[in-house]
Amino acid sequence: MTRGRLHLNAFLMNTGHHEASWRLPESDPYASVDLAHYVRLARIAERGTFDSLFLADGPQLWSSVAQRPAGALEPITLLTALATATEHIGLIATASTSYNSPYNLARKFATLDHISGGRAGWNIVTTAGAEAARNFGLDAEPAHAERYARAAEFLDVALKLWDSWEDDTVVADKAAGVWGDDAKIHPPRHKGRYFSVEGALNVPRSPQGYPLLVQAGSSEDGKRFAARYAEAVFTAQQTVEDARAFYADLKARTVAAGRDADHVKVLPGIVPVIGSTEAEARAHERVLEDHIVHTHGVRHLERLLHLEPDTLDLDGPLPADLPPESAIEGAKSRYTLIVELARRDRLTVRQLIGRLGGGRGHLTFAGTPEQVADTIQLWFESGAADGFNIMPAVLPSGLEAFVDHVVPLLRARGLLRTEYGARTTLRQRYGLPRPANQHVTAPALV
- Give every CB contact of residue 8 below 8 A, 6+ residues apart in sequence: 48, 49, 50, 51, 387, 388, 390, 416
Q: What angle do CA 181, 186, 187 make, to 5 degrees?
A: 125
Task: Say if residues 201 and 165 touch (Cβ distance below 8 Å).
Answer: yes
Task: Say if residues 23 and 291 touch (Cβ distance below 8 Å).
Answer: yes
**Residue 414 lies in domain:** 7-272+364-429
Pairwise CA distance, residues 365 & 351, whole Å: 15
How far is CA 238 from each of CA 170, 225, 364, 430, rounded to the nearest angstrom? 50, 23, 8, 24
Task: Say if residues 416 and 407 touch (Cβ distance below 8 Å).
Answer: yes
Question: Does 289 fall in a domain?
Answer: no
The DSSP bridge partners found for residue 123 are 94, 214
Question: Does 291 fall in a domain?
Answer: no
Task: Tally the domains of the chain.
Answer: 1
Q: How many residues does the chain have?
A: 446
Question: Does 445 fall in a domain?
Answer: no
Q: Annotate 347-409 with DSSP letters as a single string.
A: --HHHHHHHHHHHTTSEEEEE-HHHHHHHHHHHHHTTS-SEEEE--SSTTHHHHHIIIIIHHH
Question: Does 27 fall in a domain?
Answer: yes
Q: Annotate 111-130 with DSSP letters as a single string.
A: HHHHHHTS-EEEEEE----H
Q: By C-alpha distance, which of 64, 66, 91 is closest to 77? A: 91
Tell me, what amino acid is at 181? D
pLDDT in the model for residue 328: 62
SS (H, E, C) 190-227: EECCCCEECCCCCCCCECCECCEEEECCCCHHHHHHHH
How far is CA 122 from each of CA 57, 108, 236, 251, 337, rounded to the nearest angstrom? 11, 10, 18, 20, 24
Q: What are the φ and ψ backbone dihedral angles of 107, each rounded to 5 degrees?
A: -65, -40
Name the pTM for this structure. Answer: 0.88
Pairwise CA distance, residues 421 & 75, whole Å: 27
- Give every CB contact of residue 33 below 8 A, 6+ residues apart in sequence: 71, 73
Which DSSP category does 445 fall into?
P
Q: What is the CATH number of the domain that holds 147?
A: 3.20.20.30
Q: By C-alpha distance, which of 384, 373, 387, 380 is closest to 214? A: 387
Question: Does 113 fall in a domain?
Answer: yes
Question: Does 177 fall in a domain?
Answer: yes
Cis amide linkage into residue 396, ω under 30° from 0: yes
Question: Does 298 fall in a domain?
Answer: no
Q: What string of pLDDT tens digits covers the 446 residues of the chain?
A: 346 799 999 999 999 998 889 999 999 999 999 999 999 999 999 999 999 999 999 888 876 787 778 878 999 999 999 999 999 999 999 999 999 999 999 999 999 999 999 999 999 999 888 889 899 999 888 888 899 999 999 999 999 999 999 999 999 999 999 999 999 999 999 999 999 999 999 999 999 999 999 998 778 888 999 999 999 999 988 899 999 999 999 999 999 999 999 999 999 999 999 999 999 999 998 898 888 877 777 877 777 787 788 788 888 888 887 777 666 655 566 677 778 777 877 888 877 877 776 656 678 889 999 999 999 999 999 999 999 999 999 999 999 999 999 999 999 999 999 999 887 899 999 999 999 999 997 654 43
Question: Does 349 fall in a domain?
Answer: no
